[in-house]
Structures are given as C-alpha cells and as structure tokens.
Amino acid sequence: MKIFCTKDILLSGVNTVQKAVSSKNTLPILQGISIKGENNYLSFEATDLEIGIRCILPAQVVEEGTVVLPARLFSEIVRKLPDTTILLEQKSNVLNISYFESNISLKGYDPEEFPLLPDLYDPVSFNLPTFLFKNMVKQTIFSCSTEENRPVFTGVLLQIEEGVIKLVATDTHRLAYRTAKMDNNSEIKFSGIIPSKTLAEIYRLLKEEDELLEIQYSNSQIVFKFGAVYLISRLIDGQFPNYKQVIPQSCETKVHLPLRNFTEVVERASLLARDGSNNANIIRFNLENSVLRIDQTSELGRISEQMHVEMSGKAVSISFNSKYLLDVLKVLENEEIIFELSGSFSPGIIKPLNDPNYIYLVLPVRTS
C-alpha cells in the first residue's frame, strides 16, 4: 500500500466509522478500523458484528493494500497530524505514516481476520428525504427501553405498508408513533425492529447536505446508504407488541396547550416533586373550567401553577411521571399541542395540533 491523502480525509473516515468499533474485549480484531486503498479512494470500515459502517473517500492511491489498525490510538494520532499531505505505506501488518521529516509506525492486525461487511442478497430498496427520516427518529427513539432483558423494546419498529412508513418505540410506560407518506412506493411492505443504537448512529451521521437516504432491507438486516456512508445493521428478533390496540380512538377530555409555556410549567413543578425513593417526579394535574392547575407540596416548599387553557369535555385529575412528559415536549416543534385524557387511570395522548403524523401515549401514575 502506498497512498497520499490529507489529514481531513483520514479524520472524516475515522470519525464516521468509529462508533461501530466494538467496545467489548471479545474479539481483538473488532477493535480495529480497516483501511483499504483501492482505485482512487480510501475505504474505512468498522464493525462490532451488530452494526457495520463503511465510508469511502477520495485519495491518491499509488499502490493498493489493506491494513487494520487499533481504532482508538489511530484516531488519536489522526487528530494530532499536521495539516499537510500524509503518506501511508504498509508493510505486512504495519502502517507507516509520514509527514514533513517525521513518521509514525503503527502495529496493526491481520486484515484477513477482519469480517467483511456483507451486501444484502436481493434487497428491497427505497429512498427517503434525509430531513424527514432524522425528524422521525428524533421523535421516537427516546421512548425505547434501555433494559436488555426485553430486546424488542430496545429497538424502534419500522413498518411500511400501503405507501406509509411508520416508526414506533415503547418501553411499556409510553409509546411514540410517527408516520409519513412515501412517494411512489405503495407496493413495498416491511416490518422490522431496528436497534436504537443503529438509529442513533444514523441520526449522528446524517448531514443536511445528504439530501436522500437509501434504505435497503432483507429479512434479518437493514442497510442505510447516504453520502459516503454505507451502514448495515442486524434487526432485532421478536414480536413487537400490537401498538394499534393500545392507542385510544376517543377521549373524554381534550386540552389545547401552548408547547413552551406548558413545558416550563412541568419543569418547574417537577423541581418540587422529587420523590427521593425512586427518582420519579410525579406531578398531579387538575383540569376543570378551562384552567390547568398543579398544586404540589414537598418538604422543600410548595408550588401552585395555574394556566388558562382551551379545553372541552369532562374535568379530570391525573398524575404523570414528569420525565415522560418532558421527553416528548422537547422533540415537538409545533407551537401548540393537544392533550387527550379519559379519566385518571387511562393513558394520556399528546399530539401536535393539526398534525396527524405523530402520537405519543403515556400511562398515568396511580396516586392515592
């Protein structure tokens, strides 16, 4: 291998694939980043066998070759390289990095041991606007569970049917549901659970200048292609719960709320609602005669929040864990939201005003 490239190309390649490097110590080779010089490009690859990322960038390849380098050290070195032309030369498993009158030799792994990132066999494929998919991920991913003992809840369900794409996530306490119409893709049908780690990576890597995201899928794997990036991920095995069943179709109380004011009210009330025993900040809402009231007393003091709201239907008192409310309030962008309730013990529904593409369901807390 003999390659001339810039520091920026190396930095961009390493930053893109780095999060796919294994953080576990099982297989040493998985702590490496593979760098292949071929034709007129450098191909960077990393995988922990659950997720694999490839990034292809331009370089002047004088002689082809592949090395696999320890990811952490190599990325630290790349960050500290000078802004000049860098020469990469490989001899057996050692990479020699030259710049100015100086050079660094790095011991690598045997490239033969590095697992190939597969291409999907006969995949179905479609495109989505980048901006749309990022927004869909942002509005659902926070509802995933972090408990590994029930894997289906650690992922986001991607479902495509009848020309509509849906993302659904739940940790059994709350559920986020986001849909979007697809253009000219009414024949596609798919259902698979994507690990939240995969979607967090996609979210991080998708840039505004990557206008289109291509998604390919087979039965057990999914691929995302955009810009210089190819990302492949396993899907999570298992049956996602029937979310349609739990979303109520009607309500007894309907409230219009200004997003920003309501968020601030919940934030303040939660400061005086600390339950030392389980870290859950439970807030009780009273809705009656177009007034939303919160009255909380703790050993630290007392808060009385009162807000005039537009409401219809029955008066109701209901308690929620404030975290589950604040999580969704942070990802909504509309100025006004709708809060739908049906008594103290049924789930609450939060929706943006005049936007049928998003539903957030949250279970109340039973208080004495």
Closest to 205 (Cα-Cα) out of 7, 16, 368: 16
Cα 227 from Cα 206, distance rounded (Å): 8
| 39 touching a copy of itself, by CB under 8 A | no
Candidate ranges 18-26, 72-80, 226-234, 352-360; the one touching a copy of itself (CB under 8 A): 72-80
Q: What is the H or E stretch that residue 57 is in? A: strand 51-58
| 303 touching a copy of itself, by CB under 8 A | yes
Cα 178 from Cα 360, distance rounded (Å): 9
Among 101, 112, 187, 209, binds a copy of itself (CB under 8 A): 101
State the minimum distance, in angstroms, from the CB of residue 178 to a copy of itself.
Answer: 28
Cα 206 from Cα 129, distance rounded (Å): 11
Among 307, 309, 353, 365, binds a copy of itself (CB under 8 A): 307
Interactions with a copy of itself, residue window 103-132 (CB under 8 A): 103-107
| 32 touching a copy of itself, by CB under 8 A | no
| 76 touching a copy of itself, by CB under 8 A | yes
- Distances from the Cα of 223 to the Cαs of 51, 53, 163, 234, 281, in angstroms? 10, 10, 20, 9, 39
Cα 194 from Cα 201, distance rounded (Å): 12
| 309 touching a copy of itself, by CB under 8 A | no
State the minimum distance, in angstroms, from the CB of residue 308 to a copy of itself.
Answer: 8
Which amino acid is residue 130, in one-letter code?
T
Candidate ranges 55-63, 69-77, 174-182, 309-317; the one touching a copy of itself (CB under 8 A): 69-77
Which residue, 172 or 306, is less far from a copy of itself as judged by CB? Answer: 306
| 50 touching a copy of itself, by CB under 8 A | no
**How many positions of this chain bind a copy of itself (CB under 8 A)?**
33
Q: What is the 3-state secondary structure (H, E, C) of 317-360?
A: EEEEEHHHHHHHHHHCCCCEEEEEECCCCCCEEEEECCCCCEEE
| 7 touching a copy of itself, by CB under 8 A | no
- Dihedral sign, CA of 334, 355, 340, 167? negative
State the minimum distance, in angstroms, from the CB of residue 303 to a copy of itself.
Answer: 5
Interactions with a copy of itself, residue window 214-273 (CB under 8 A): 261, 264-265, 267-268, 271-272
| 29 touching a copy of itself, by CB under 8 A | no
Which residue, 104 or 180, is less far from a copy of itself as judged by CB? Answer: 104
* Residues 171, 240 contacting (CB under 8 angstroms): no
State the minimum distance, in angstroms, from the CB of residue 307 to a copy of itself.
Answer: 7
Cα 60 from Cα 309, distance rounded (Å): 64
Cα 152 from Cα 143, distance rounded (Å): 12
Where on the chain is the footprint of a copy of itself (CB under 8 A)?
70, 73, 76-77, 80-82, 94, 100-107, 261, 264-265, 267-268, 271-272, 299-308
